[in-house]
């Protein structure tokens, strides 16, 4: 037996550095796998490269993102907002039939960045800041240009970053010279009617000129 083990030792001695390297590599791979799992890296995520950067995972198209996802319809306005909309729609139909009231208007659809004195990057950033913001209600003229904006501050309004969103809307509308009415449940129908009458009359005078 001693002879056999001695012979095996002679045979394996030159291979020992290779065996040690293989064992060390296996250990490193095992440690790397554990670290990856602890960091929550999925199979599509990549580890940092030697220069410290991380290779980007393959991007999915929007179609691939929604494929297999179930969607369902939801109302454009909640119950409180619908009540306000119906009141304003009745007023517009009776007193200003050449105007219309629309719901959930994207500011990016009714406002544009003037651009004077701004770089292209600055103009893009300003547009993106308002594009995702929506008005509860908006009154438009026969050309579908925004005449006035109505924001309803109902029971669920002030959530998340609502105050910041409201501030952005106010500033954008102020800059575009669009009147904004912020109302709540206690706002009377009479006050709303007076405000709308005043806004629409001023818009008509400005659009048609003083010699109408």
H helices of 96-188, in order, are 107-110, 120-131, 162-175
pLDDT in tens, 51-62: 666 666 678 888
pLDDT bin (cut points 50, 70, 90) of residue 12 is: very low
Whether the predicted pLDDT of 76 surpasses 90: no
CATH number of 79-208, picked from 3.40.1350, 2.60.40, 1.25.40, 3.30.70: 3.40.1350
Tell me the pLDDT tens digit for each residue of 98-120.
899 999 999 999 998 987 888 88
Residue 158 pLDDT level (bands cut at 50, 70, 90): low
Instruction: Evaluate if residue 3 carries a pLDDT over 80.
Output: no
For 176-190, letters b (16+ CB in 10 Å) and e give eebbbbebeeeeeee
pLDDT at 193 over 90: no
Question: What are the residues facing 44 on neighbouring strands?
Answer: none
Cα distance between residue 207 and residue 200, in whole Å: 10
> Is the alpha carbon torsion for 5, 10, 15, 17 positive or negative?
positive
Q: Is 100 helix (H, G, I), strand (E, B) or coil?
A: strand
Domain-by-domain residue ranges, the chain? Answer: 2-66, 79-208
Quick check: 128 pLDDT over 50? yes
pLDDT band at residue 77 using 50, 70 and 90 as cut-offs: confident
Q: Answer whether residue 89 shows pLDDT above 70.
A: yes
Given a cut of 80, whether residue 28 has pLDDT beyond it is no
């Amino acid at each position: 037996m001693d002879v056999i083990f001695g012979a095996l030792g002679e045979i394996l001695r030159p291979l020992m550095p290779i065996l040690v390297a293989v064992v060390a590599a296996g250990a490193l791979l095992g440690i790397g796998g554990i670290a990856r799992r602890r960091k929550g890296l999925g199979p599509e995520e990549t580890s940092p490269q030697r220069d410290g950067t991380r290779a980007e995972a393959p991007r999915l198209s929007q179609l691939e993102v929604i494929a297999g996802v179930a969607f369902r319809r939801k109302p454009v306005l909640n119950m409180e907002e619908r009540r306000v909309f119906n009141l304003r729609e009745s007023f517009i139909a009776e007193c200003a039939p050449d105007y219309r009231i629309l719901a959930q208007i994207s500011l990016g659809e009714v406002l544009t960045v003037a651009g004077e004195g701004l770089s292209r990057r600055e103009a893009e950033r300003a547009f993106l800041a308002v594009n995702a913001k929506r008005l509860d209600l908006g009154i438009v003229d026969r050309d579908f240009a925004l005449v006035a904006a109505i924001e309803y501050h109902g029971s669920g309004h002030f959530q998340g970053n609502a105050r910041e969103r409201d501030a952005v809307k106010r500033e954008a509308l102020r800059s575009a010279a669009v009147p904004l009415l912020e109302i709540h449940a206690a706002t009377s129908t009479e006050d709303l009617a007076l405000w709308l009458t005043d806004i629409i009359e001023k818009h008509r005078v400005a659009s048609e000129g003083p010699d109408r």
